Structures are given as structure tokens and as C-alpha cells.
């Protein structure tokens, strides 16, 4: 069968392949230490579940407006105003089946063939593919670990072209956990002021922060850019609701209505009962989320300290999200079973096959020389994984 050429640039994800293999091994009873997950290991807080149960019991089980129930769009509008200081009317908000869906809609509504989208690396694996599925061209702008993975304004300026339609920012970041400082955001804003393109700020890890500094995104520090910014956020990470598939976008009316038209003809509304649960999530108590963040912070500290104690591995302390992103470049050139180590895919495969540790290679994130490990898992699992990593490094020869 001849499939659409839209699929030509899309490659099967090596991350998913690794995850699938780790899961298959675990299903066979192999004792895998899983660091590959991109989701909190906590259950959805009970008060959120109860809101969905109540909605079910009340028969709230029919189609809703594509853009979302008015109650939820209002709650999102109020959240953006109160917590982020951003003014978006409910009509400027579209609720979708996950932040991934929101981002997909953005690019489908915005891009024509050949339009460019700037993505800073290391990046979340889905950004380039989503841009390409919309016939756009991803333009990758590298950032450096030494700069805390903050964009280099000069490189950004160089990458902007008349074809640049959008720039994506993601802080706290998947995969690095890096949080952009006020100065870093201001520097990016200064460059973007000179170029009329959409700013996509993916704030999905907003609540998973381990410093005392409040969350901020680009428009918070540069409110003049609000008219051409779309804020993408969701419920998966902050409220441990990955399986519920709920996200949203807030942005310029024209863009949001274009996205809504695409959603009208694809998924229609996000689930009715999920939307009721989302209202509870936004308006309910903060304690369950604070407890989760506190535990994540303790796990992060444990993980980073353990990694930095291993010769050849170096790990920055991430200020947000739930990933450590250590450099393994110090292991390259050493030998394992007679083969020289040279890449993150190779190291991830050895770790999974011989040491039963599932860690995601940095290469698909545009960051060769790193591996991503999630601390959305218990402290015991982290200790066990660290011990296996030590065993691996101990077997290496010069």
C-alpha cells in the first residue's frame, strides 16, 4: 500500500523500541530496573478521581463542546491569570486529549510545507516528528550543558529565517530537567521581538519544580509577546493523570479557532468525565501535589549524588521535571567485553541486556553522550539501579 509521504520523515522511535523491550523482559519475569517512564508513579489524587466518579454517576457521559466545557475553560482561564499572570479569555482556550494533542493541533493549524520551527536540543522526542507530520521543517538549535541548557541568543538569531513560523520553549525541560532563568528567558524574548513568529511555550512540567523560585515562562518575563504566544499545558505530570489524556492550549483567537476546527474533524472533545476531573484538579487542594513534589525532590538528590559518585558519569542537578540527564561521555573510549563504548544507544542497550537497567539514550533527544533516567520511581529502585550502574562501570577496561 502506498502511504502518505507525510510519513516519510517519521522514523520509528528508538525510545519506544527500548521501552517495549524493557516491558517485554519484565513481563517474562526478568527483574528490570525501569528508569524509562515519562510519567509519575503516584496514583491520581483521590479528590480528582471522585470528581470523575460523581460525573459518571450524574450521567455526564455525552459529547461536550469540542473546545471543552465552559466550566473547565473558565477554570483554566482563572488559573492562567492567578498563577501565571497571563490574561486569556475562556474563548482563547482549547481543551484537548493531552498536551501532545494540543501541540499537534498547533502545528497542523499553523504550518505549510517548508515552514520552519525552531527547536532547542536536547528536545522532547515528539517535537520534530509533530512538526514534520504537519509538513514543516524542524530547525534544531543546540544548547550546552555548561550553559545549563539555556538557549544561546546568538545561535537563535542565526537560526531565524523568513521561513521561521514558530519557536518552541520547554522549561522545565524533558529530557534535561533544566529550568530557564529570568535572564535566559529575557534574552530569548529580546531576539524574538525582532522576528514575527509564534512562540510555543510547553509548560507541562510547571508544577514539578525543586527550587524556591516560582514558575515562569517566556511571556511572564516578556508580556509584550503575549499576542503571539500559545501556552500549552496539561494534567498528566502535575496531577499524575497521564492515562486520562487531558491537555490544553491558550493562545491567539485565530490560532485557537483553527486548532478547534482541526479537532472538530478529528477527536472532537476530550472525555466528558475527564473534563470534570480536570476542573477539580485546578480548583482543589494543593497538598497531594506538594507531597509528590517533595518526594520527587528527595529522589532527585539521591539519584544525582549516586550518579556523581560513579567515575566517568557526571550529572547536573535538574531544577524541575522528573529526569536526571547525566553525561556518559567519560565512559566513551573504555571497553566493555572487548568493544569500545562510543554512543548512548550502545550504552543503553548494554545496560538493558546485561545489567537489567532501562535508561533512555540521549541520541533521540538530539543529545548524544547523555542518557535520560526518570526518578518517577521508588527510592529503592533508584538505589538498585545505581548499584547496577556501578557494576557496569566496574567491568569496563581502559
Distance CA 260, CA 178 (A): 32
Determine the Cα–Cα distance for residues 49 and 274; give it in Å rounded to an integer: 9
- 8 Å CB contact between 131 and 154: no
Q: Coil, strand or helix: which one is 31?
A: coil
Q: How far is the CB of 102 from ligand PLP (least distance, A)?
A: 8
**212 within 8 A of 321, measured Cβ to Cβ:** no
Q: How far apart are the first and last CA of the chain?
A: 50
Contact 398, 316 (CB under 8 A): no
| Number of residues in contact with ligand PLP under rule CB under 6 A | 13
Residue closer to ligand PLP (CB basis): 20 or 154: 20
Asked if 174 is part of the footprint of ligand PLP (rule: CB under 6 A), the reply reads yes
Binding status of residue 247 toward ligand PLP by CB under 6 A: yes
User: Based on CB atoms, which residue is closest to ligand PLP, 38 or 326?
Assistant: 38
Dihedral, CA of residue 354, residue 375, residue 143 and residue 396, to nearest 10: -30
Which of 202, 206, 319, 368 lies at the binding interface for ligand PLP (CB under 6 A)?
202
x-or-dash string of contact with ligand PLP, 129-168, rule CB under 6 A:
----------------------------------------
Q: Which of 242, 267, 308, 329 binds ligand PLP (CB under 6 A)?
A: 242
115-129 exposure pattern, b = at least 16 Cβ within 10 A, e = fewer: bbbbbbbbbbbebbe
Q: Is 100 in the site for ligand PLP (CB under 6 A)?
A: yes
Greatest Cα-to-Cα distance within the chain, rounded to the nearest angstrom: 67
- Give the nearest distance from C-beta 142 to ligand PLP in angstroms: 18
Q: Is 72 in the site for ligand PLP (CB under 6 A)?
A: no
C-alpha cell at 72: 473547565
Nearer to ligand PLP, 204 or 310 (CB): 204
For the record, the C-alpha cell of 124 comes out as 522532547
107 binds ligand PLP (CB under 6 A): no
Any contact of residue 217 with ligand PLP (CB under 6 A)? no
274 or 326: CB nearest ligand PLP: 274
Judged by the rule CB under 6 A, the positions of this chain that interact with ligand PLP are 38, 98-100, 124, 170, 174, 202, 204, 234, 236, 242, 247
Amino acid at each position: 500500500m502506498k502511504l502518505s509521504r507525510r510519513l516519510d520523515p517519521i522514523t520509528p522511535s528508538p525510545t519506544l523500541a527500548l521501552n517495549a523491550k524493557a516491558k517485554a523482559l519484565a513481563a517474562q519475569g526478568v527483574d528490570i530496573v525501569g528508569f524509562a517512564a515519562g510519567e509519575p508513579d503516584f496514583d491520581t489524587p483521590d479528590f480528582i478521581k471522585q470528581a470523575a466518579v460523581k460525573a459518571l454517576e450524574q450521567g455526564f457521559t455525552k459529547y461536550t463542546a469540542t473546545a471543552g466545557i465552559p466550566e473547565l475553560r473558565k477554570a483554566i482561564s482563572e488559573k492562567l491569570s492567578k498563577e501565571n499572570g497571563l490574561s486569556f479569555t475562556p474563548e482563547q482556550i482549547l481543551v484537548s486529549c493531552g498536551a501532545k494533542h494540543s501541540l499537534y493541533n498547533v502545528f497542523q493549524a499553523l504550518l505549510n510545507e517548508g515552514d520552519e520551527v525552531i527547536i532547542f536540543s536536547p528536545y522532547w522526542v515528539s517535537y520534530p516528528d509533530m512538526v514534520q507530520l504537519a509538513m514543516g521543517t524542524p530547525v534544531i538549535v543546540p544548547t550546552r550543558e555548561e550553559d545549563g541548557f539555556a538557549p544561546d541568543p546568538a545561535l537563535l538569531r542565526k537560526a531565524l529565517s523568513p521561513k521561521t513560523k514558530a519557536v518552541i520553549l520547554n522549561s522545565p525541560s524533558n529530557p534535561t530537567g533544566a529550568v530557564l532563568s529570568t535572564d535566559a528567558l529575557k534574552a530569548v524574548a529580546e531576539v524574538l521581538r525582532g522576528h514575527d513568529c509564534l512562540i510555543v511555550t510547553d509548560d507541562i512540567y510547571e508544577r514539578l519544580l525543586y527550587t524556591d523560585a516560582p514558575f515562569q515562562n517566556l511571556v511572564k518575563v516578556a508580556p509584550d509577546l503575549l499576542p503571539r504566544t500559545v501556552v500549552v499545558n496539561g494534567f498528566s505530570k502535575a496531577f499524575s493523570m497521564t492515562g486520562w489524556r487531558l491537555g490544553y492550549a491558550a493562545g491567539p483567537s485565530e490560532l485557537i479557532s483553527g486548532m478547534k476546527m482541526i479537532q472538530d474533524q478529528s477527536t472532537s472533545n476530550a472525555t466528558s468525565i475527564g473534563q470534570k476531573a480536570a476542573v477539580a484538579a485546578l480548583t482543589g487542594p494543593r497538598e497531594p501535589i506538594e507531597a509528590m513534589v517533595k518526594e520527587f525532590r528527595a529522589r532527585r538528590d539521591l539519584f544525582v549524588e549516586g550518579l556523581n559518585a560513579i567515575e566517568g558519569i557526571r550529572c547536573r542537578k535538574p531544577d524541575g521535571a522528573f529526569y536526571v540527564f547525566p553525561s556518559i561521555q567519560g565512559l566513551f573510549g573504555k571497553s566493555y567485553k572487548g568493544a569500545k563504548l562510543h554512543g548512548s544507544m550502545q550504552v543503553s542497550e548494554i545496560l538493558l541486556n546485561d545489567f537489567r537497567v532501562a535508561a533512555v539514550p540521549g541520541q533521540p533527544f538530539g543529545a548524544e553522550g547523555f542518557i535520560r533516567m526518570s526518578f518517577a520511581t521508588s527510592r529503592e529502585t533508584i538505589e538498585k539501579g545505581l548499584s547496577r550502574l556501578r557494576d557496569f562501570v566496574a567491568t569496563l577496561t581502559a
